[in-house]
Amino acid sequence: MKLTLAFSPVVCSLVPYVLLTEAGAEFDTLNIDMSRDEHHSPEYLRINPKGKIPTLIIDGYPLTENVAIQIWISRTFPQAGLLPQDPLEQAKAISIMSWCAAGLHPKITQQARPERYCAIEGTADSVKALGSESLFEMLAIADTMLAGREWFLDQFSCADVYFYWIFRRSGFLKPDLARFTHCVAHMQRVEMRPSVQKLLAFEAEVKAQFALVK
C-alpha cells in the first residue's frame, strides 16, 4: 500500500502525520507551502479540488476531510489502538473529533482569516472578538472534560491528537490560554509521545526548506 500525505506546517495535517506515525505506517509526504498558495495550484487541485490540507493519497486515491482520514487510519491499523473497539466508546471519540472539526476548528479560522466571515471594512476586530469568545467557551468545556483525566477517553486516541492540534493552534493566535490548566497539561502529555516529537522535528525541517525557497 502506497501512502502519501499532503502536509503543511502548523495546519491540521499534523493530525494524520502523528496518527500514521503512531500506527507504524510507511508513508511519504507531499509538502505544500500554503503561504505561497500552493494548495490552490492547478497541480494540487487535481489531487484535491477543495484546495484543502490534509489529503491522504491511498494507492492513488485522494481521501479528504480530517475525521474521515483519522477513522481510515485507525481501522487500517487496528493494532495501534487509535480508536476504542467498543462501539459506544468509539462513538465518543468520533464525537470529540467531529466537535474539533465542526465546532472548534472554524473558530480558529475566524481568528486567522476574519475576512472570510465578513468583508465589510473595519469589521475584522469585531469578527475576531466574537470568534475568540466562542472559542474560549468551547475550550472551557474541553478543560472540564479533561479534569482528573490523562486523555479524553480511557486510552490515548485520535481525539487527543485532533484536540492537541486545536489547542496548539489556538495558542499561536491567543497567547492567554494558561487558564485552561487541564488542556495545557494534556498538550504537554501529548508532546511527550515519540510520534509528536517526530512531527515537531519534521515540521521544523519543512519550515526551513520553505524559507530557503522564498
Strand 28-31, strand 3-7: pairing: parallel
User: pLDDT in tens for each of the 214 residues of the chain?
Assistant: 999 999 999 999 999 999 999 999 999 999 999 999 999 999 999 999 999 999 999 999 999 999 999 999 999 999 999 999 999 999 999 999 999 999 999 988 887 787 878 788 888 888 877 878 889 999 999 999 999 999 999 999 999 999 999 999 999 887 789 999 999 999 999 999 999 999 999 999 999 999 887 5
pLDDT in tens, 58-72: 999 999 999 999 999
pLDDT tens-digit readout, 95-114: 999 999 999 999 888 877 87
Give the three-class secondary structure for 55: strand
Query: pTM of the predicted model, to two decimals?
Result: 0.94
Strands 28-31 and 61-64, bridge-based pairing: unpaired
| Main-chain phi, psi angles of 39, to 5 degrees | -75, -10
Q: What range defines the domain where residue 172 resides?
A: 87-193
Cell of 163: 484536540
Helix 105-112 and helix 124-146, axial crossing angle in degrees, nearest 10: 150
User: How far is residue 155's CA from residue 83's CA, in Å, rounded to a whole number?
Assistant: 9
| Residues 121 and 63 grouped into a single domain | no
Residue type, 197: Q
Same-domain check for residues 165 and 91: yes
Same domain, 41 and 11: yes
Work out how many domains the chain is built from and give that number.
2
163 lies in the same domain as 98:
yes
